[in-house]
Structure 1
Amino acid sequence: MTNPEPARSREQRKQDVLDRLEKDNDAWVATASADGQPSLVPLSFVWDAGTLLMATRRTNPTAVNVTPAGQARISLGHTRDVVLIDATAEVVEGADLSGESGDAFATKLNWDLRGRARWVYLRFTPYAVKAWREENELAGRELMADGAWLD
């Protein structure tokens, strides 16, 4: 049994989530194929204009899965500091990526994929965000709904 710290306010949790989105490099990304086959993979990301920008090979299940449904669940943190993000997803070709977004990705992750035909970028736009550490934070874990941060 753990002795949890006092529950954080919604404002503090939101700030903690935004800090993680700026500073973390990797997340778990869950998608499903058209027939429901799940896929869970770690991908590196950059927080770019309110979206998570990631990259993978265009033939990998994650890229293939986002095409028909455009849905994904993304997780940051471990089981005692969870951030769950439900997002719409779109595939972005390197040639279609803005220079600013490409530069942000390459700078943060030291990895520039623009011009590599086998790779695509994935842009995930959050529509729901939940965050909690312990049982005492479950009640207020919803931080975003319908794409808007809650007050």
Structure 2
Amino acid sequence: MTDYPPARDAGQRKRDALTRLEKDEDAWVSSASGDGPPRLVPLSFVWHDERLWMATKAKNPTVRNIRAQEACWVALGPTRDVVLIESTAEVIASDSLPDDTGDAFARKLGWDPRGRDTWVFLAFRPQRMLVWREVNELPEREVMRDGVWRV
């Protein structure tokens, strides 16, 4: 039998998830359109105004998937420190991004695709968030439901 660290309470999991959202740079995005295969891609992100913001080429399959179906999943962290986010997403033209969001993106990630017509931004609005490390945290892993923090 494996000894696990003590389970964190919901408040600590929320704080840990927010720290990961603020400090991590990369996430896995899973999307599907219904008429093609699902996609799983790594993208860099910034957490700003309660959303994850990412940029990618406008012709990427992930963009087509999100335009066809806004529902998708975003995953952060390693397998022993998971933040799994069910989201709705929208595609935003690179020249339509709010200035403060674009500035936050450029400051955190060190590059700025604004104004490049071959690029778009993706805005992910979390609807449900699951946070866990080990099996002992699985029963209370939901820290957000219907876009509202439960703690």
Q: Point out 4+ residue stretches in structure 1 off by more than 3 angstroms.
A: none
Give the letter aligned to residue 108 of structure 2.
K
Q: CA deviation at 1:128?
A: 0.1
Count residues in correspondence: 151
Q: What's the counterpart of residue 25 of structure 1?
A: 25
Q: What TM-score do the two structures reach when normalised by structure 2? A: 0.97
Q: CA deviation at 1:36?
A: 4.9
Q: What's the counterpart of residue 141 of structure 1?
A: 141
CA distance in 1, matches of 2:16, 2:65: 30
CA distance in 2, matches of 1:8, 1:36: 39
Answer yes or no: is the 8 Å Cα contact 2:95–2:116 preserved in 1. Answer: no
Q: What's the counterpart of residue 8 of structure 1?
A: 8
Structure 1, unaligned runs of 5 or more: none
Q: What TM-score do the two structures reach when normalised by structure 1? A: 0.97
Alpha carbon RMSD of aligned pairs, Å? Answer: 0.9
Percent identical among aligned pairs is 55
Q: CA deviation at 1:2?
A: 3.7
CA distance in 2, matches of 1:80, 1:22: 19
Correspondence list, 1:116-135, <5 A? 116-135=116-135
CA distance in 2, matches of 1:93, 1:7: 42
Q: CA deviation at 1:47?
A: 0.1
Give the letter aligned to residue 25 of structure 1.
E
Structure 2, unaligned runs of 5 or more: none
